[in-house]
Structure 1
């Protein structure tokens, strides 16, 4: 039984819902009253998209239970939001957590602008301590970002939401989760499916950059653009970071073996800036195998050369290089090759590469396959790929899945998804929802979600709102 929109409902006979605190790709968080201990808590209703089978539903429940299991290992750390209980009610898993009075780092930056160096240094130290505890317990967070960092009213800095975390002993649930998380804060090697502690440190570097500069360095207008920026782009040198700038830059190194370890990073926080110039030692827990590093380096060179040839119009040579990279079982290369083939009209082969990339966990290919099936009128396959895309944490997929329900005449199911998208507040998904509602003639509703997206800083939504208002 879902408790969405139902304050007063009692979860598991114990936790009475009071008000919704927020929602995102992996769940909805409520303030609740623990009627047994008479204290307020936060409870997270884990979103479980419609499963294709009972086995897939069981897999999603196991993912939620894993979140609770991973976070519970760390409940006593002063910089991690403690998990108090894990319950299942009506087939839906819930995580019960300490209720934190305050706001996220994202809300802090969105509201007040860039964070000062002194405050950012304190935040960095707290998060490094939290990550050290997690890594020592064998847990990789995999989604460190401003929205998952809470600044309490008492001055605490807390890491939360281990919904994508993976313990070193987890040997299942990895195929479909290989690149779950927020792309703009994701380490390049994670797009290859390599989940090491060094990836958390990269995400911390991007998070700190966003905090002190007020902008996310790799965010682009499209998912594809963001992925390319993460893989190949260089962030502009931080201008507001002061002494913290060198540490941020070092944490954001594209090569995981060149990032400092957590003890080194903690030391660097307390030393003068010149000391940061020394090349860090290669820690065993942050490095990848030399063979994997060489493979990724070769793939990166091939993709960079292919991109240069495409810019110069040498499509044949670009295709040859992309085929060479794709033959190394690199999912992103497969996706790029499929896009090139699609653009020159080789749709059948393009679809084959998209499928291979999608089965390897490359989410943009899932979205593209959904679009291709939708255009071909294959609604069942379109729904399948859109669900896969949603399962990887992309709220945008719910908008497209809703269009499948519209095409089937399932208006109630479409409206449910539309409400979920609006509640989630993802700025890219809100823009897409506005486009959909505009096409359906729902102008006022389109203006409302365009405005929300624009207020979150999404330029295309601002332009769409201006165009719609001008009519």
Structure 2
């Protein structure tokens, strides 16, 4: 966080920060007062990873500013949270947005469970209109998910966080391209680095599936499992979607050219009987895939399988060679595996390089590892950055580690807020980690409480931890 970012500070001699509204992997959002227009707004402090040079940092700031300007083209659409301004405080970009009173679809699902078909249909219609406006303006969102959909108090449905969007004419600053978005909602081709409008439609399909079924269809216990499910797995047929079922299934097709266009999706949304839509004609189209993507994916999979076999046989040198070959194909998982192998061999500096490459491409275990590395080296700001990125990709465990950073900063109130969120979320792995944290700090009763919750959810390590805290009666 910027050293100046705090309640009472005035950004760009105009925006008075009032209170923090939330934070995620890509920024911290504040409620602020526009002192010139005398209205309340939301301002997002964009988090940037540590740069290797001042030139690289300047490029990243320029990219954030440019992407915010792209989003500003859409400010007048009724289903989009408009970007009003973009400023910097010297080192950090800030995006000024309309302040919306309400809650996200994620908060709605977490608090109240699945939505009914009528509500999901209204959400789908609003988002299709928002995406149509974005795509017509040449802007691809790249991160459609429940957390970026706001349900306003007046019944509006709005797509937000266009600050990470990309315009089709952007051809600069691509040397360190990153994968933006949460993997469980991401289209298979996005993992290969291909960001087209069809990927937004796939993400919408997964979001609608989650909304009506109450489960995220491709989320797994590990990021590697999630990515494998996204790329190769099939979601169970929706059981509660009613007339939305066909639209959701079509949007989630693994092949982008077989997904409906927005016009076709709107037809499916309003059709009372299943409609048969012909695939779009061959040739250049918004949903077309880059040649060779599937072939490259297969080559990477073969390299990883061979590397795993060599590791099992103890041939680490050959495993490393194969992993380097796969990593050279810009595959984030391969970078992560290579980093882990190098770390185990004691090559910490090069391992950290590959972890960073993988994390900046969206691989979340590398984000967590980098957070631990930065924490160990005393770089608390970067530790907080990577832990927030980990949390933003849906991993509640990251909140436990982020809380330790706040404690190191002396911000005990913020740490306790995160601990309470972990308890409410009920993630069994995060609860176990929270119990470990409290046990180490002497809060034994609190540790027992969260161990018990985790054990009730079936997490065996929590059961063992709980047993270790139970009083032992001497044998007679």
Q: How does 1:69-468 map to 2 (within 5 A)?
A: 69-89=69-89, 91-276=91-276, 279=279, 281=281, 284-296=285-297, 298-299=298-299, 302=302, 326=326, 329=329, 331-332=331-332, 334-335=334-335, 338=338, 347=345, 359=357, 361=361, 363-364=363-364, 366-367=366-367, 370=370, 379=377, 389=386, 412=408, 419=415, 422=418, 434=434, 437-438=437-438, 440-441=440-441, 443=443, 447=447, 463=462, 467=466
- Residues 227/339 of structure 1: CA separation in 2 closer, same or farther (3 Å cut): farther
- Alignment correspondent of 1:35: 35
Structure 1 residue runs of 5 or longer lacking an equivalent are none
Matches of 1:347 and 1:267 in 2, distance apart? 57
CA deviation after TM superposition for structure 1 residue 79, in Å: 0.9
SS in 2 for 1:30: strand
Instruction: Indicate conservation of the 8 Å contact 2:81/2:160, yes or no.
Output: yes
SS in 2 for 1:78: coil
Instruction: Indicate conservation of the 8 Å contact 2:400/2:419, yes or no.
Output: no
CA deviation after TM superposition for structure 1 residue 123, in Å: 0.9
Instruction: Indicate conservation of the 8 Å contact 2:391/2:398, yes or no.
Output: yes
Instruction: Indicate conservation of the 8 Å contact 1:367/1:386, yes or no.
Output: no
- Residues 111/369 of structure 1: CA separation in 2 closer, same or farther (3 Å cut): closer
SS in 2 for 1:184: helix
SS in 2 for 1:20: strand
Matches of 1:458 and 1:15 in 2, distance apart? 45
Matches of 1:445 and 1:295 in 2, distance apart? 52
CA deviation after TM superposition for structure 1 residue 421, in Å: 9.6
- Alignment correspondent of 2:473: none
Instruction: Between 32-41 and 332-341, report the one with greater CA deviation.
Output: 332-341
Aligned-residue RMSD, C-alpha: 4.8
Matches of 2:93 and 2:420 in 1, distance apart? 19
Instruction: Between 15-24 and 96-105, report the one with greater CA deviation.
Output: 15-24
Instruction: Indicate conservation of the 8 Å contact 1:367/1:385, yes or no.
Output: no
CA deviation after TM superposition for structure 1 residue 10, in Å: 2.9
CA offset digits 1:186-243 (Å, max 9, x no partner): 1122222111111111111111111111111112222222222222222111111112
CA deviation after TM superposition for structure 1 residue 276, in Å: 4.5
Instruction: Indicate conservation of the 8 Å contact 1:68/1:83, yes or no.
Output: yes
Structure 2 residue runs of 5 or longer lacking an equivalent are 471-476
Q: TM-score by structure 2 length?
A: 0.76
Instruction: Indicate conservation of the 8 Å contact 1:431/1:461, yes or no.
Output: no
Q: How many residues align?
A: 452
- Residues 32/460 of structure 1: CA separation in 2 closer, same or farther (3 Å cut): farther
Instruction: Between 442-451 and 153-162, report the one with greater CA deviation.
Output: 442-451
- Alignment correspondent of 1:65: 65
SS in 2 for 1:254: coil
CA deviation after TM superposition for structure 1 residue 60, in Å: 3.7
Instruction: Indicate conservation of the 8 Å contact 1:34/1:40, yes or no.
Output: yes
Instruction: Between 101-110 and 31-40, report the one with greater CA deviation.
Output: 31-40
CA deviation after TM superposition for structure 1 residue 315, in Å: 10
- Residues 337/64 of structure 1: CA separation in 2 closer, same or farther (3 Å cut): closer
Matches of 1:48 and 1:468 in 2, distance apart? 43
Instruction: Indicate conservation of the 8 Å contact 2:186/2:202, yes or no.
Output: yes
Matches of 2:411 and 2:437 in 1, distance apart? 11
Matches of 1:388 and 1:85 in 2, distance apart? 24
